[in-house]
Amino acid sequence: MSMLHIVNKSPFERNALASCLSHASKGDAVLLIEDAVLGAVAGSQVAHLLLSALATQAIYVLSEDLAARGMEPNRLVKGLQVVDYSGFVDLTVQHDKNQSWL
């Protein structure tokens, strides 16, 4: 019994990622897609949010959205895992529920 949280908003523009992380339970997973992948880059002012969340949640980033925005996987905050759409599907299977933070 765990939840996959899906975030699609840039954390520099909106509060969705911050709100998601403050409501995720231990053992949940967080997937960053669309503009939310921009928050995954190391050295940004939101990196600390992800680093502290990694203690209790797995965090994934969608590779197709990273590539579209010119971000190489080697630039990401350490500990984040990159998945493609096929991996996105697998995450929705592994977690028996999911929530989109729109």
Partner 1 sequence: MAVKKFMYVNRKAPYGTVYALESLEVVLIAAAFEQEVTLAFLDDGVYQIVRNQNPKLLGMKNFSSTYKALGDYDIKQLYVERESLIERGLTEDDLMDITYEDEGDDWAEKSSLTIVSRAEMAALMAAQDVMFSF
Partner 2 sequence: MKYTLMVNEGPYQHQSSDTAYHFAKAALAKGHEIFRVFFYHDGVNNGSRLSVPPKDDRLVQKQWSDLAQQHGIDMVICIAAAQRRGLMDTAEAKRQGLDAHNIAPGFRISGLGQLIEGSIESDRTIVFGD
Which of 3/46 has CB closer to partner 2? 3
Structure-block tokens of residue 85: 């759409």
The whole-angstrom separation of Cα 65 and Cα 54 is 21
Name the DSSP class of 3: E
Sequence letter at residue 43: G
Site for a copy of itself in 10-29 (CB under 8 A): 12-15
Least Å distance, CB 14 to partner 2, is 10
- One DSSP character per residue, 31-61 reads EE-GGGGGGGBTTSTTHHHHHHHTTTSEEEE
The whole-angstrom separation of Cα 78 and Cα 94 is 23
Q: Is 34 in the site for a copy of itself (CB under 8 A)?
A: no
- Say how many residues touch partner 2, by CB under 8 A: 18
The whole-angstrom separation of Cα 82 and Cα 2 is 20
Structure-block tokens of residue 9: 């908003």
Least Å distance, CB 30 to partner 1, is 13
Site for partner 2 in 7-66 (CB under 8 A): 8, 33-35, 64
Catalog residues that contact partner 1 under the rule CB under 8 A: 1, 3, 8-10, 12-13, 15-16, 19, 22-25, 28, 34-35, 38, 41-45, 47, 63-65, 67-72, 75, 97-102
Catalog residues that contact partner 2 under the rule CB under 8 A: 6, 8, 33-35, 64, 84-86, 88-90, 92-93, 97-98, 100, 102
